[in-house]
Structure 1
Amino acid sequence: MSPRAGSAGNRPKKPDTLAFVESPVQLLNVLEWAHTRNPRTEEGTAPAPGAGLTLVVLSPTDPMTRGQLRRMAELARDEGYEVRWEEARGGTAAPFHTIGGLVPLLRRARRIVMGDPFSRYVQLLLTITGARDLVVVDDGTATMEFVAQLGRGERLVRWHRRGGRPGARDVLFAPVSASARRRLTPTGHRSVEVFSSMPIDSAPDGVRVTPNDFAWTRARFGPPRITKSADLVGTSLVETGVVDPERYLAAVRSLAAAHGATRYFAHRRESPEKLRRLAGETGLEIVRPDLPLELIARRGPIGRTILSFPSTVVHTLPLALAGTDVRVAVCDIDPSWLTENASPRAEGFLSGVTGTAKDVHRLTAVAHTAPA
């Protein structure tokens, strides 16, 4: 069945809300946001399935991400929402076809929900819409940086990008990015909401912050069966050039041995080569989840202890697993692990991710692990 199959007959002609997602976690958080607007009744059914929300998946090319997005799209359809799958990166002409097909919807929508305000695709779409209500849902820890940059009036740049002069593409896209930043700044005629499970203590004037406590996930799945062993959560910090691969491998090996971890839940962006080496040198079972980890953990089985490096899950898993006996533990990134290409902001940002996490245990046992 194609991603759009089975949905054309009941497609709303004028969706009240358009949501643009490019990752499984973004789609999950749109479902969480929609749940807070349209909670289930005590009988477990939503009073108005769909509620005028159309989810637009701007599909990436990465196979793991696409697979998880397809599964999340199925869950969204099960909840009664319309899902429109766009092969947004399927060739040179794909962006033109995608944007051209979305223009009528963009011009009619009253509200735009987005999972990644740093996305050039999303920033371009924002220049087309006249929607007066804008909502940013979590795209992981990047949400913290987005709020901070918006408050400081800075250009929107992902935290792991190395400092310095913008590249040629950045310069060419600068007017669009600046326009998107202005549209994401609240005015008397335009509201901006950030729906987040991240610790956002202060937001720019006029930005409304709504907490995400994963109520939909907890209502839909679980409680999980809990095993006696530990599970380790992988990170893509090596792939983004932030952490040295040898240091990372040594840290995983030490954590697994110290805590009796048996499984390694791979991040969807981790390279197959790195994962093969991890399996061979640590003995861990490599698990490539077909859904975001919050749903995997809530469905179970899951280890009694979940070990993680600084990442979004140290904030989200305690919420998704609230009421269970699962312990989430986080291991800090030692500064010596950072590569010479890491952004100057990397150390402080990662430290802040760990330091602001609630209901997690801090681990320092491998803080100065050296390569084997």
Structure 2
Amino acid sequence: MTTTATPAPEPERTGPRRAGGGGTLAFVESPVQLLNVLEWAHARAPRASVTVVVLPPHDPMTRGQLRRMAQLARDEGHAVDWAEARGGAGAPLRTVTALARPLREAGRIVIGDPFSRYVQLLLALSGTAADLTVVDDGTATMEFTAQLAAGAKRFTRWHRKGAGGARALLFTPASRRARRRLTPGPRRRVELFSSMPVEPPEHVTVVENTFAWTRERFGPPALINGSDLVGTSLAETGVVDVDRYVEAVRSLARAHGAVRYFAHRRERTEKLHRVAVECDLEIVRPDLPLELVARRGPVARTILSFPSTVVHTLPLALAGTGVEVAVCDVDPAWLSAGASPRAQGFLSGVTATARGVQRLPASGA
């Protein structure tokens, strides 16, 4: 069985408003990024309106969650522009042209994914005096800060192998300029707003994301017996073998009495069908980031997860509710033949640094 929310209407497409006179301009490409922009505004600029530019991908589940998050942002008094930057051959140029002036005039730029080539291009075009804030884009924040501290000339996602091919080489000048923009200077402050365990370089200010806005806005949730299991896109990104993953889900669900499986927005339909049939789980496709879904409830007293962002964020979002979060390690035998050499170490680090969670051994094999 699959539970899916009714699609929300497509947002009105508008040209990007000017953040103007020292205002704040935020760029988001995922629902989690937009959630963390709202958390940042609540914590750091509670009386200010942020202009949020949504750069939606083609994936329908991501777009659906972004629509709902965009409405929440509007409800909080922020301006939201839906920019179809990937909507055809001429869309990137039109979007960049429309954003050129707002980028130069913004006093602060907030981004959620410094690995994104689109965001790097926008940073390369931004005014050199604007302050920068990086909000969490999940566990990728940990890899970003590690590469920033190490002085990496180019940012590379942890699950990717190689240098990225010819397209990456063509993009090198913009990537290097974006890298310089993310380095603090005499006229430019760089801030990291994060719930992740990070060790950024000197002169980067770290502000802890406690999910205060989420806790104030939603819940507390009603609790149900049993366990909920959180899905991941580790198979979709080529990190783990899909057969091993499904077997691990089945073993974990049986051992802990899981009934529902909260699908990651990037999980493929074919894999989810296997999880439903072979693991006897109800598939739930959340219409918002899991932190908000769990906070609204109902939610199980125990939430099971493999190494992912939620093992860091859910204990904060659900603080004081009595919900326990448990994380299951990834067995090295599950890794696919094409997995990055860094994959196992990165996943182990995600688990080892999670606070307030129960550690579980790898299930299935």
Match of residue 4 from structure 1: 12
Q: Do 1:233 and 1:308's aligned partners in 2 also have CA atoms closer than 8 Å?
A: yes
Which residue of 137, 149, 161 maps to 1:151?
A: 149
What do residues 155-189 of structure 1 show as CA deviations (whole Å, max 9, x unaligned)?
20001001x34411111111111111111011111
Closer, same or farther: CA 259–203 of 1 in aligned 2, 3 Å: same
Match of residue 128 from structure 1: 125
Structure 2: how far apart are the matches of 1:27 and 1:191?
A: 21
One-letter amino acid of the structure 2 residue matched with residue 3 of structure 1: P
Give 1:298 shift: 0.2
Counterpart secondary structure, 2:27: strand
Q: Do 1:22 and 1:60's aligned partners in 2 also have CA atoms closer than 8 Å?
A: yes
Match of residue 6 from structure 2: none
Give 1:4 shift: 3.3
Give 1:301 shift: 0.2
Give 1:15 shift: 6.6
Per mean C-alpha deviation after superposition, the further-off stretch among 126-135 and 209-218 is: 126-135
Give 1:38 shift: 3.7
Q: Do 1:236 and 1:270's aligned partners in 2 also have CA atoms closer than 8 Å?
A: yes
Which residue of 262, 281, 297 maps to 2:278?
A: 281
Match of residue 297 from structure 1: 294
Q: Do 2:300 and 2:323's aligned partners in 1 also have CA atoms closer than 8 Å?
A: yes
1:134-283 equivalences under 5 Å are 134-154=132-152, 155-162=154-161, 164-200=162-198, 202-283=199-280
Which residue of 318, 322, 328 maps to 1:321?
A: 318
What do residues 6-61 of structure 1 show as CA deviations (whole Å, max 9, x unaligned)?
x99x986657000000000000000000000244xxxxxxxx4xx24100001111
Per mean C-alpha deviation after superposition, the further-off stretch among 55-64 and 11-20 is: 11-20
Counterpart secondary structure, 2:134: strand
One-letter amino acid of the structure 1 residue matched with residue 242 of structure 2: P
Counterpart secondary structure, 2:301: strand
What do residues 190-243 of structure 1 show as CA deviations (whole Å, max 9, x unaligned)?
11001000011x211111111000000000000000101100000000000000
What do residues 244-298 of structure 1 show as CA deviations (whole Å, max 9, x unaligned)?
0010000000010000000000000000000011101111000000000000000
Q: Which runs of no fewer than 5 residues in structure 1 stay unpaired?
A: 40-47
Q: Do 2:140 and 2:157's aligned partners in 1 also have CA atoms closer than 8 Å?
A: yes
Give 1:2 shift: 5.0
4+ runs of 1 displaced by more than 6 Å?
Answer: none
What do residues 300-342 of structure 1 show as CA deviations (whole Å, max 9, x unaligned)?
0000000000000000000000011100000000001001111
Q: Do 1:54 and 1:82's aligned partners in 2 also have CA atoms closer than 8 Å?
A: yes
Closer, same or farther: CA 261–149 of 1 in aligned 2, 3 Å: same
Structure 2: how far apart are the matches of 1:205 and 1:31?
A: 26
Q: Do 1:4 and 1:83's aligned partners in 2 also have CA atoms closer than 8 Å?
A: no
Counterpart secondary structure, 2:171: helix
Structure 2: how far apart are the matches of 1:4 and 1:322?
A: 36
Whether 1:30 and 2:37 are equivalent positions in the alignment is: yes
Structure 1: how far apart are the matches of 2:362 and 2:145?
A: 32
Structure 1: how far apart are the matches of 2:191 and 2:142?
A: 13
1:9-158 equivalences under 5 Å are 14=21, 16-39=23-46, 48=47, 51-130=48-127, 131-154=129-152, 155-158=154-157
Structure 1: how far apart are the matches of 2:266 and 2:37?
A: 21
Counterpart secondary structure, 1:127: helix
Match of residue 5 from structure 2: none
Match of residue 340 from structure 1: 337
One-letter amino acid of the structure 2 residue matched with residue 270 of structure 1: E
Structure 1: how far apart are the matches of 2:186 and 2:21?
A: 25
Closer, same or farther: CA 299–15 of 1 in aligned 2, 3 Å: farther
Q: Do 1:15 and 1:54's aligned partners in 2 also have CA atoms closer than 8 Å?
A: no
Relative to the length of structure 2, the TM-score reads: 0.94
Match of residue 4 from structure 2: none
Structure 2: how far apart are the matches of 1:141 and 1:91?
A: 30
Closer, same or farther: CA 365–56 of 1 in aligned 2, 3 Å: closer
Relative to the length of structure 1, the TM-score reads: 0.92
Structure 1: how far apart are the matches of 2:22 and 2:30?
A: 21
Structure 2: how far apart are the matches of 1:248 and 1:132?
A: 44
Q: Do 2:19 and 2:25's aligned partners in 1 also have CA atoms closer than 8 Å?
A: no
- Between the aligned residues of both structures, percent identity stands at 69
One-letter amino acid of the structure 1 residue matched with residue 201 of structure 2: P
Q: CA RMSD in A?
A: 1.5
Counterpart secondary structure, 1:76: helix
